[in-house]
């Protein structure tokens, strides 16, 4: 039983962990941080934050809703005992009561939010700048 399972798991165990890192032929961590900061600053200058409003969900009319419950009750009538005879209890007068709770219809306004329409451009520009400075995204086996 273990041979087929171990045969299937073996390639996964041999693969190892793969991660990606920015690498440069002549620069180290300090220069990477400075280049990243310079590129981000340039990207913010070229593509400043531009917030626009957009609709997350449309306005709509929520109709009136009624929820009703029915309760049943009965009244217990007891006849007092006559001299020398036991008293009796009988159930009579069954009542049914219906209670409704109504929530009126209402207008539900649209839900709106803000987004930065330059976010993607800013990110692409910063990455392009970083690549132009000689950095590359490389797979590193661990």
Q: Is the pLDDT of residue 26 over 80?
A: yes
pLDDT of residue 76: 64
Judge if pTM exceeds 0.75.
no
Band of residue 93 on the pLDDT scale cut at 50, 70, 90? low
- Give Cα 95 distance to the centre of its chain: 48
Find the length of the chain: 142
pLDDT of residue 138: 87
Provide the residue range defining the domain that includes 53.
16-74+89-141
Residue 49: both structure tokens together: 């934050």
Q: Is residue 8 part of a domain?
A: no
Q: Is residue 69 part of a domain?
A: yes
Q: Is the pLDDT of residue 118 over 90?
A: yes
Q: Is the pLDDT of residue 8 over 90?
A: no
Q: Is residue 57 part of a domain?
A: yes
pLDDT of 28-81, one tens digit each?
888 999 999 999 999 999 999 999 999 999 999 999 999 999 888 776 666 666
Which residues contact residue 84 at a Cβ distance below 8 angstroms, ignoring those fewer than 6 apart?
none
Mean pLDDT of the chain: 83
Number of domains making up the chain: 1
Q: Is residue 6 part of a domain?
A: no
Write a three-state SS string for 12-80.
HHHHCCEEEEEECCCCCHHHHHHHHHHHHHHHHHHCCCCEEEEEEECCEEECCEEEEEEEEEEEEEEEC
pLDDT of residue 125: 96
Q: Is residue 5 part of a domain?
A: no
Q: Is residue 80 part of a domain?
A: no
Q: Is residue 103 part of a domain?
A: yes
Can you say whether the dihedral through the CA atoms of 40, 44, 50, 51 is positive or negative? positive
CA–CA dist 21, 126 (Å, integer): 16
Higher per-residue confidence, 123 vs 21: 123
Q: Is residue 84 part of a domain?
A: no
Look up residue 100 and give its DSSP letter: E
Residue 119: both structure tokens together: 């976010």
């Amino acid at each position: 039983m273990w041979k087929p399972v171990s045969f299937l798991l073996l390639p996964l165990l041999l693969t190892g962990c793969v991660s990606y890192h920015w690498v440069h032929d002549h620069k180290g961590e300090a220069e990477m941080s400075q280049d990243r900061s310079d590129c981000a600053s340039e990207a913010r200058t070229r593509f400043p934050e531009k917030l626009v409003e957009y609709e997350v969900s449309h306005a709509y009319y929520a109709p009136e809703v009624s929820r009703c419950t029915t309760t049943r009750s009965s009244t217990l009538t007891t006849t007092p005992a006559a001299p020398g005879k036991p008293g009796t209890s009988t159930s009579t007068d069954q009542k049914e009561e219906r209670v409704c709770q109504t929530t009126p219809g209402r207008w539900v306004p649209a839900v709106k939010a803000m987004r930065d329409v330059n976010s993607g451009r800013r990110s692409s520009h910063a990455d392009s700048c970083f690549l132009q400075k000689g950095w590359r995204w490389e797979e590193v086996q661990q």
